[in-house]
Every structure is written in structure tokens, then in C-alpha cells.
Amino acid sequence: MREALASVLAPWLDSELGVRLVSITPVGGGCSHACWCLQLADGSRLFAKTDSRARLPVLAAERAGLEALAPWAAAPLQLPRPLALAAVAEHAVLVLSWLDLEESGGGPTGWRALGRGLADLHRSSRAGNGGRGYGFECDNFIGASPQINGWSSDWPDFFAAARLGPQFASAARQGQALRGAELLLEQLPDWLEHPSEPVLVHGDLWRGNAALVRGGGAALFDPACHWADREVDLAMARLFGGFPAGFFEAYEQAWPLPAGAERRVPLYNLYHLLNHANLFGGGYLQQAQDCLTTLLTTLLASRH
């Protein structure tokens, strides 16, 4: 497969980017796509993702997210630069700049830099919203799942209609309706009654989509970005293994979160548990149901 892929990529890369491909090597870590290191004749490297031709919209959404985030990311935070996107033979291909990532995970200084960098990105991006509110310029994907966007001036309405609602509906279509879903959606204005403003968020910020860079700095990639309450990124950073404590400490020092942020973490992460339940099944469905039940119990208890 590698040789066949190289044979179709080489002429395309020459035509599209003016570079000569020497070899391609598989790179680990990709959950949805095949990932490759492209070694070029001048000694430099590029990063490529490939998938079936039908999956080109998924890679196009990733490019759109990286391009949207780029104006607001400043050192020490790095993003891969999208360089080329196309359907090449039977493949969908996205070529990105190469980031030399730490394979060991790195030390606390780098993770603190990532926390500061994310806070700076969130805060600076406010200037680019232009009063559009919550949403994004196009629909995109959260993992392999479609993620609808559009625009809304009201954060609870957006989170209900564009995030939790579609995931609840997807579960119901698969015969896995969650108990209390409608009630939770009705209560979202109470849960999300806090000062919020739209910032550009990464949107899929788990440990696998961030890394430290050799020589200093940190990187984010594989976004599902949209304009949202910034707390959604900080909440997801606690899921699936979570980020080191220094990341959260540095973010809080750079731009403290509003009161009640801890209370909203499980609500925001219910979205990702539901998405995993819809994609993978298994224990994620029970985790989502347990999370939903606990949220409703907590809300009802707070009213007595």
C-alpha cells in the first residue's frame, strides 16, 4: 500500500507544492485517518493524512479549523499549517507542515506553556467574532461524527440545538435513548447561567490532540473548532487521561475562569461521552447515562 500511495502522491506533490517526494513512512497516533511522514529530496519533511476519497469533507473541515485558529495562535503555541488538500486517485489527502514533537510527553514547563498559549488564543480571538455569536462558518466534524454549527446569539440555545440535542437524537435512532435527555435540555439555561462570550475554541481538546515540541513550545492539532464558551476546551482537557496539572494552573493564571466553572465540567463533557457512545458503543453509553443522571440529581438538589 505504501508504494502504491507514494506513486500517486509524488507527481501530485510536485505539481501542487513543487517538492520531490523521496519516501513515505507511517506515523502513529491517527485515530480516523492514516498518517504519514513525507521525506523530501531537500531533506525536509511534511506530514500527510490520507483517507478514502469520500472522506475529503472531513479533511477539508480540519483545514478550515486550522486556518481559523492560526491568526490567534502565538508563540509558544504552534499549529500545523495546511499546505495542500485534494482527492488524489482514490485517496483524500491533506498535507500539513511538519512539527517535531516530543515523543516522551515532555516536562511540566512545556505543558504550562500550552496552558498559557491556549488562554492567549482564547482571549485574543474575541476580536475576530464580529458579533456573530456562537457557531462557525461551516459544519464540521467531532471525530467521525458530523458537528452542525450555524450561528446563535444565545449560548444555552446553541449548546442544546447544535451539540447535546443532535447527540441525544443519534443515540435514540440507534435504539439507545437516554433517560432524562429532554429534561436536561430544558434545564440548560439554568446550568449555563454565567458570564460567557464567544471565543474560538479547539473543540476536541483531549490529550491526543496536543503535544510538546522539541526545543520548546507546544502544539495543537486535529481541531473541531467553533465559537463557544471557552470552558468547553478546559472541560474536555480533563477527559480521557487528562492534561497535566500545570496546564490548568497556567491557564488559570493567564485568564481565570468565572465562578462555577467546575460545576459545568460534567455538562460540557456529556457531549463528548455521548459522541463516543454513538461512535463506539460499549461502556460509553453507560458513562453518558450516569453523567446525565448525576447532572439532573444535582440540579434538583440545588433547588431544595
How deeply is 130 buried, as exposed, middle or buried, from its count of CB atoms within 10 A (0-12, 13-18, 19+)? exposed
Judged on CB neighbours under 10 Å (0-12, 13-18, 19+), 263 is middle
Cα–Cα–Cα angle for 28, 114, 29, rounded to 5 degrees: 10
In angstroms, the CA 180 to CA 242 distance is 27
- Which helix (H) or strand (E) element contains residue 38? strand 34-40
Tracing cell 463516543 back to the chain, one arrives at: 276
Q: How far apart are CA 296 and CA 215, in angstroms?
A: 47
Catalytic entry in 51, 100, 120, 204: 204
Strand duo 34-40 + 21-26: pairing: antiparallel
DSSP 55-98: GHHHHHHHHHHHHHHGGG--TTEE-PPEEEEEEETTEEEEEEE-
Catalytic: 204? yes
The residue among 79, 64, 67 whose CA lies nearest residue 117 is 79
Do 64 and 137 form a contact (C-beta atoms < 8 A)? yes
Q: Which of 71, 65, 122, 81 is nearest to 250 (CA)?
A: 122
Q: Which residues are catalytic?
A: 204
